C-alpha cells in the first residue's frame, strides 16, 4: 500500500486527482448548505401560513360552542319547567315541558335539551318521541350534573350513554325560586347537548388536517375519522378508572395514535410530528388552546413542500457550483461564437433590407389596385344612377307637362289682360307663372342632384376618413326627396306610402348617396307591390344610442328563401329580364358600408319584404 502511495505521489497523480475532485466536493458542500437553508426557510414560511388558518379553526370552534353557551340559563326561566319540577307526577305538565324543549332544540339546532330533578332523573326531554328518549334516565354520574349542583353550571364533552353520539354538554342549575341566589334550594338541572359532527364534516372537506384533544390527551374531534378518540400519550390506571366512572368515552376502546415528535419547528407552538408509526407521513403541527376549555386544537400541515424545498436547495447549490465550473468554458465558447454571430447579424440585416424593399413594392401595387377598385365602384354607382334616371324620366316628364301647359295658358291670359288694360290681372298671372317655374326648378334640381357624382365619396381615401367628414343629414329630408323622385310611379301604381320619421333625426352620411340608397329601396318596394291587392309601403326611422335604424316595408309577395342569401351579390336579380341589372342592392350595400353602416333584408311575419338600414347617428 505504501509503495502504491509513493508511486502516485511521485507521478503527480494524487495532485491531479485532488484537482478533479475539488469541484465535486465544492458542489456537495454547497448543495448541503443550500438544502439546509431552504428547508429552514420553508418551515418558517409554512408556520407563518399555518398560524392564521389554525386561528380560524379555533375561532370557528369557539363560536360554535358560544352559540349555545347561554341557552341553559335562558331555558331555566321557563315557567312550564318549574311547574313540572314542582309536580313531577303531572302528565299534562310533562307533556307541555316535552313539547317546549322539543321546540327549543329545533330552533337552536341543539342535539338534545332535557331537564332533570335534583337526583339526576330526567323529567322532560326534547327527544321524548324517539326510541332513545332521555325521559326517566338518570345522569347523576355525569360531571356536568354534579358541577351544576355545586357550582351552578357545568360543562362536559363525552359520548352519550343512551344515544351513543358524542357531544358537548352545557348544564345550568334551576333554583326553587326564580331570581334566588346561590343559597336557594335546587329545583333541578337543565342540560343542552351540542353535536359537533357538522363541524367535523366541514373540516373533513378542507385540505388541512385538524384534531382537537381534551385535557386527558384524548382526540375528541378530528377531520380524519380514524384519528377520533385516540390517545396522544399513554393514560395512567387512575385516569382510566375516573373515565370509566364518568362514562365519558362510553363503549369506546381508546387506542394510541402513535404520534412521534421529530423535532421543533419555528415558534414555541410548532413541532414536526410523524403520525402512524415509522412509515407514517411527516406533519408540521401548530397548536393553540381553545379559550374557555381545556382543549387544544392542532393544525397538521404536510411537510412535503419542506422536503421538496430541501431537495431543490440541494440541487440548486450543486447546480450553482457546477455553473461556476462551466463559466470558464462558456466564456471561451462565447468568444468563438462572437465572430459567427456578427456575420449572421450582417446577413440578417441585408435580408431585412431586401424584405423592406419587397414590402414597399407590394404595398404600392396594392394601393394602386385599391384605387382602381374605388374608381370602378364609383363608375358602377353612376351607371346605376343613370339607369334609375331612365326609369324616372317618364315620371319627371309627366311632372313637367302639367306646369308647362299652365304656363302657356297663363302667358296668353297675361297678354290679353295687358291688351285690355288690366295690369292687376297681369300681375296675378305673372305671380302664378313664377310659382310654376319655381316648382319646375325644384323638380329638375332633385333630378340633377340625384344624377351628379358625390365628390366626397368618389375622392375618399379610406372608410375611416369618409366617416369623419360625413355631414349631418336629416333623414326626413332624404326620404322626402326620394319619394318626390318616385311620385309619378307611386301615383301610377296607386300605392300608399306611410312615413314615420322624426324631423330632428340626423345621420352622418353623404346626402346624395343616402338618397340614392333610399330611391333604390323605395323603387324596389314599388316594384314588389305592383299588381298586389294591397299596395302599401311604410318608411320608419328611430334612434337607438349612437345608431339610427331606417326600415322600408312593403306588402308585396316577399323574398323567396332561396333568393335571400344572394340578394347582395352582383348581377343577381329577381326581376324579369330587361327590368334590372342586379346591381342596385350591391351598390347600395357598398355605399352603406362606406359610411359605417349595414343593410339587412328579411321577410315580414305578416307578409312582404323588409329592408333595414343601420346607420351612424349624428348629434
Answering whether pTM is above 0.75, one says: no
Residue 568, classed as helix, strand or coil, is: coil
Beta pairing class for 166-175 and 153-159: antiparallel
CA atoms lying within 13 Å on the CB side of residue 132: 8
Confidence bin at 126 (pLDDT 50/70/90): very high
How far apart are alpha carbons 154 and 494 in whole angstroms? 101
Predicted confidence at residue 458, as pLDDT, reads 43
Tell me which residue has cell 349595414: 598
For residue 456, pLDDT over 60 is answered with no
User: Residue 260: phi, psi to the nearest 5?
Assistant: -120, 130
> What is the 8-class DSSP label of residue 138?
B
**Do the beta carbons of residue 319 and residue 28 sit within 8 Å?**
no
Predicted confidence at residue 399, as pLDDT, reads 54
Predicted confidence at residue 496, as pLDDT, reads 93
How far apart are alpha carbons 552 and 601 in whole angstroms? 10
What's the chain's Rg over C-alpha atoms? 51
How far apart are alpha carbons 512 and 612 in whole angstroms? 19
Predicted confidence at residue 593, as pLDDT, reads 93
How far apart are alpha carbons 227 and 200 in whole angstroms? 12
User: Residue 297: phi, psi to the nearest 5?
Assistant: -95, 135
The CATH architecture annotation of domain 457-616 reads: 2-Layer Sandwich (3.30)
Beta pairing class for 598-603 and 609-616: antiparallel
pLDDT tens for residues 137-161?
Answer: 999 999 999 999 999 999 989 888 8
User: Residue 274: phi, psi to the nearest 5?
Assistant: -115, 125
CA-nearest of 411, 436, 513, 437 to 471 is 513
For residue 292, pLDDT over 60 is answered with yes
Predicted confidence at residue 392, as pLDDT, reads 56
CA distances from 104 to 71, 127, 133, 156, 321 (A): 9, 11, 16, 20, 72
> For 470-510, where are the alpha helices, taking DSSP H only?
475-485, 487-493
Average pLDDT over residues 402-430: 78
The CATH architecture annotation of domain 70-195 reads: 2-Layer Sandwich (3.30)
**How many C-beta atoms surround the C-beta of residue 194 within 10 A?**
22
For residue 41, pLDDT over 90 is answered with no
Confidence bin at 3 (pLDDT 50/70/90): low
How far apart are alpha carbons 141 and 10 in whole angstroms? 91
Residue 203, classed as helix, strand or coil, is: helix
Predicted confidence at residue 521, as pLDDT, reads 93
CA-nearest of 52, 180, 163, 185 to 114 is 163
How far apart are alpha carbons 583 and 520 in whole angstroms? 10
**Least confident stretch, 136-140, 449-453, 589-593:** 449-453
Q: Which residues contact 280 (CB under 8 A, 6 or more apart)?
A: 258, 274
Predicted confidence at residue 469, as pLDDT, reads 44
Predicted confidence at residue 57, as pLDDT, reads 86
| 231 burial via Cβ count (<10 Å: 0-12, 13-18, 19+) | middle
**Least confident stretch, 132-146, 175-189, 390-404:** 390-404
Query: Concatenated DSSP letters for 349-383?
Result: HHHHHHHHHHHHHHHHHHHHHHHHHHHHHHHHHHH
How far apart are alpha carbons 341 and 592 in whole angstroms? 55
For residue 310, pLDDT over 70 is answered with no
> What is the 8-class DSSP label of residue 54?
H
Residue boundaries of the structural domains of the chain: 70-195, 306-427, 457-616
**Least confident stretch, 203-217, 454-468, 533-547:** 454-468
Amino acid at each position: 500500500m505504501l509503495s502504491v502511495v509513493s508511486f502516485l505521489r511521485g507521478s503527480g497523480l494524487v495532485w491531479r486527482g485532488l484537482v478533479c475532485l475539488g469541484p465535486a466536493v465544492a458542489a456537495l458542500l454547497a448543495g448541503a448548505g443550500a438544502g439546509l437553508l431552504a428547508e429552514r426557510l420553508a418551515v418558517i414560511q409554512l408556520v407563518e401560513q399555518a398560524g392564521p388558518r389554525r386561528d380560524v379553526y379555533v375561532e370557528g370552534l369557539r363560536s360554535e360552542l358560544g352559540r349555545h353557551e347561554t341557552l341553559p340559563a335562558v331555558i331555566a326561566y321557563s315557567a312550564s319547567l318549574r311547574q313540572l319540577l314542582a309536580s313531577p307526577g303531572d302528565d299534562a305538565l310533562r307533556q307541555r315541558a316535552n313539547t317546549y324543549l322539543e321546540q327549543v332544540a329545533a330552533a337552536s339546532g341543539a342535539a338534545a335539551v332535557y331537564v332533570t330533578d335534583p337526583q339526576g332523573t330526567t323529567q322532560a326531554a326534547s327527544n321524548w318521541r324517539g326510541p332513545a328518549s332521555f325521559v326517566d334516565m338518570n345522569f347523576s354520574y355525569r360531571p356536568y350534573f354534579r358541577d351544576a349542583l355545586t357550582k351552578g353550571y357545568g360543562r362536559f364533552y363525552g359520548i352519550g350513554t343512551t344515544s351513543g353520539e358524542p357531544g358537548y354538554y352545557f348544564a345550568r342549575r334551576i333554583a326553587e325560586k326564580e331570581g334566588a341566589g346561590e343559597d336557594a334550594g335546587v329545583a333541578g338541572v337543565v342540560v343542552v347537548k351540542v353535536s359537533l359532527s357538522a363541524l367535523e364534516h366541514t373540516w373533513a372537506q378542507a385540505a388541512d388536517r385538524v384534531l382537537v384533544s381534551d385535557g386527558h390527551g384524548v382526540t375528541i374531534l378530528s377531520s380524519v375519522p380514524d384519528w377520533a378518540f385516540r390517545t396522544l400519550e399513554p393514560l395512567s390506571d387512575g385516569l382510566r378508572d375516573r373515565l370509566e366512572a364518568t362514562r365519558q368515552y362510553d363503549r369506546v376502546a381508546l387506542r394510541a395514535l402513535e404520534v412521534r415528535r421529530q423535532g421543533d419547528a419555528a415558534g414555541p407552538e410548532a413541532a414536526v410530528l410523524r403520525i402512524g408509526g415509522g412509515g407514517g407521513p411527516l406533519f408540521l403541527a401548530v397548536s393553540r388552546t381553545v379559550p374557555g376549555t381545556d382543549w387544544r386544537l392542532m393544525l397538521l400541515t404536510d411537510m412535503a413542500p419542506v422536503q421538496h424545498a430541501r431537495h431543490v436547495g440541494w440541487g440548486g447549490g450543486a447546480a450553482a457550483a457546477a455553473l461556476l465550473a462551466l463559466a470558464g468554458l462558456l466564456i471561451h465558447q462565447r468568444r468563438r461564437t462572437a465572430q459567427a454571430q456578427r456575420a449572421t447579424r450582417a446577413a440578417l440585416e441585408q435580408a431585412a433590407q431586401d424584405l423592406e424593399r419587397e414590402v414597399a413594392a407590394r404595398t404600392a401595387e396594392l394601393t394602386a389596385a385599391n384605387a382602381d377598385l374605388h374608381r370602378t365602384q364609383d363608375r358602377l354607382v353612376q351607371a346605376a344612377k343613370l339607369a334609375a334616371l331612365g326609369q324616372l324620366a317618364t315620371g319627371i316628364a309627366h311632372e313637367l307637362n302639367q306646369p308647362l301647359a299652365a304656363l302657356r295658358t297663363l302667358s296668353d291670359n297675361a297678354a290679353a289682360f295687358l291688351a285690355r288694360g288690366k295690369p292687376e290681372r297681369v300681375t296675378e298671372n305673372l305671380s302664378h307663372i313664377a310659382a310654376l317655374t319655381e316648382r319646375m326648378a325644384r323638380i329638375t334640381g332633385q333630378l340633377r342632384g340625384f344624377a351628379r357624382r358625390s365628390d366626397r365619396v368618389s375622392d375618399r381615401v379610406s372608410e375611416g376618413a369618409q366617416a369623419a367628414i360625413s355631414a349631418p343629414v336629416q333623414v326626413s329630408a332624404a326620404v322626402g326627396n326620394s319619394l318626390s323622385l318616385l311620385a309619378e310611379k307611386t301615383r301610377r301604381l296607386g300605392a300608399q306610402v306611410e312615413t314615420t320619421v322624426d324631423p330632428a333625426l340626423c345621420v352622418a352620411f353623404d346626402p346624395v348617396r343616402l338618397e340614392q340608397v333610399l330611391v333604390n329601396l323605395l323603387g324596389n318596394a314599388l316594384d314588389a307591390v305592383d299588381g298586389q291587392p294591397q299596395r302599401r309601403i311604410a318608411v320608419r326611422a328611430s334612434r337607438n344610442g349612437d345608431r339610427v335604424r331606417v326600415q322600408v316595408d312593403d306588402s308585396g309577395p316577399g323574398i323567396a328563401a332561396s333568393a335571400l342569401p344572394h340578394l347582395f351579390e352582383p348581377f343577381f336579380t329577381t326581376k324579369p329580364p330587361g327590368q334590372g341589372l342586379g346591381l342596385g342592392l350591391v351598390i347600395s350595400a357598398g355605399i352603406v358600408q362606406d359610411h359605417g353602416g349595414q343593410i339587412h333584408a328579411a321577410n315580414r311575419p305578416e307578409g312582404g319584404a323588409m329592408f333595414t338600414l343601420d346607420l351612424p347617428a349624428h348629434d
